[in-house]
Structure 1
Amino acid sequence: MFRLKLLLVVSFIFLLPGCSMVPFGIGLIPGAPAYVSSLIGSGQSVYATAMDERTTEQQMLDAIVAGHAQAELYKNKDIRADQIHTYCYFGKLYLVGEYDSQEQLKTIYQCMDKVEGKRQIISRLYLHDENADNTFFRDQATYAELRTQLMADFEVTSTPVEVQIVQGDIVLLGVIHDKEERDRIVAHAMSVKGVNRVVSYLYHQENAGPEPQIMSAQLAPAPEPSPAPPREIPPPPKTKPKKTRPKVERKPKPEAHPVLAVSNPDRGR
């Protein structure tokens, strides 16, 4: 239902005569702040929209979700909304900034539950330290230095990249071309002096799209080995039958006749 209403409103916007009516039409969307109209209003924003890897419809959906989230923060008087910035990419709502207490943090999440069209909430919120030195000018100097480096690198399209600096950490958000560009942007951020950490929420085509892909570190299961073909057992070699001689019964040898003693007839004569 929310998607159908959005398409009807967008269709009505682009049917209005003249480009000057477009920001007015976007302002009719309930809860969307005035700055959403800058997506089409100024030439620089048009360039940033064209360089974004998302489709125009996806950019519009994300802008409305982020606008609703920021509007909910401004409506609640217990929240200092100027401390929190909202961004949305492919339905993922990002919160970057500071909060004053655990009760305030709970209230922030309650406000985000009212935002329609979000798929996930990713929080990068820091507890505000009142005893910390004022780092506003230092953060501004870090921001300016990083922006200068990104603009000087012709292999980086820095316009769609959002940079937030909170308590010495650089938070990067946006949709970029590929992994190589992401690595170059992170390398520029790491080279800035005085930076604690670099937190990257940069999307590229390998891990983002209309349906974000969740990459896991688990190895794919190895394919099961195919069963071996049955082994043929060769027949036993033919052997010639052994010739056996017939047994011959041996006749017993005749006993030798005993020699009879012959008496001498002349003996005694």
Structure 2
Amino acid sequence: MRHTTRAVLCLITICLAGASVAWTPWGAIYESARDERSVSQQADDKRISLDIKSQLADRDGKKALKVHVYCFMGRVYLVGAIDDTDFRKFAVKTAKSIKGNKGVTTHFVKETDTTADDLEVAASVRAALIAEGDLSATQIETETMNGEVVMVGMVRSKADAKLAIKVAKGVEGVRKVTSYLIPPK
């Protein structure tokens, strides 16, 4: 009987320990990647961006590849290097028509071929953001076009947004940095 009681107590202890692990905010303990949005908000944002991407691809798959769609907290960001004014307008109209959209911000630049320089700058910016120990860069998306870096995403604070801009500007080959980083309210 004593062994059964011990076994039950041991099992309860293991279950409680397991339950507490499931609820542990690992990001707080290990300072790892975390998302400031609720799971529901993340799902809504993903649905919104996928709905927009799908409609753009249905219209013109080749041009759709030139428009990068991001959504954070219901706000849509259209970023790309595309000269086709009609397709730009279609992208904005499409984004505005999606249920749950709370606004559209566009950042379009003159269309150019992706150069090796842009790819190198993009990789260097990503590496610099990740290497910055005082910055959680896991939710910062970057696009590099003609040496211009556009940053979109969530950051923990206004100070993180400023630091991300400073880090990106410090990368060789970056001509300009535009930030649409969102700190918590």
1:52 deviation in Å? 1.3
For 2:13, the equivalent position in structure 1 comes to: none
Question: Aligned equivalents of 2:91 and 2:114: distance in 1?
Answer: 24
What's the secondary structure of 2:97's corresponding residue? coil
1:93 deviation in Å? 0.6
Question: Aligned equivalents of 1:136 and 1:159: distance in 2?
Answer: 25
Q: TM-score, normalised by structure 1?
A: 0.53
| 62-71 or 107-116, which deviates more | 107-116
Higher helix content, 1 or 2: 2
Q: Which has the higher contact order (CA 8 A, sep 6+)?
A: 2
Q: Which consecutive unaligned segments of at least 5 residues does structure 2 have?
A: 1-31
- Contact 2:49–2:70 (CA<8 Å) still a contact in 1? yes
1:140 aligns with 2:119: yes
1:128 deviation in Å? 1.5
Letter in 1 for 2:104: I
Which residues in structure 2 correspond to 1:116-135 (within 5 Å)?
116-129=99-112, 134-135=113-114
Q: TM-score, normalised by structure 2?
A: 0.76
Letter in 2 for 1:108: A
Higher strand content, 1 or 2: 2
1:168 deviation in Å? 1.7
Classify 1:78/1:182 alpha carbon distance in 2 versus 1 (closer, same or farther; 3 Å): closer
For 2:150, the equivalent position in structure 1 comes to: 171
Equivalent of 2:43 in 39, 46, 60: 60
Classify 1:112/1:140 alpha carbon distance in 2 versus 1 (closer, same or farther; 3 Å): same
1:194 deviation in Å? 2.1
- Alpha-carbon RMSD across the aligned residues, in angstroms, is 2.1
Which residues in structure 2 correspond to 1:230-269 (within 5 Å)?
none
- Contact 1:95–1:123 (CA<8 Å) still a contact in 2? yes
The structure with the largest alpha-carbon Rg is 1
1:185 aligns with 2:174: no
Cα deviation, 1:105-137, whole Å, max 9, x if unaligned, reads 2332333343221010111112325xxxx5421
Question: Aligned equivalents of 2:114 and 2:69: distance in 1?
Answer: 21
Equivalent of 2:95 in 108, 112, 115: 112
Question: Aligned equivalents of 2:77 and 2:121: distance in 1?
Answer: 22
Q: Percent identity, please.
A: 26
1:50 deviation in Å? 5.7
Number of residue pairs aligned between Structure 1 and Structure 2: 155
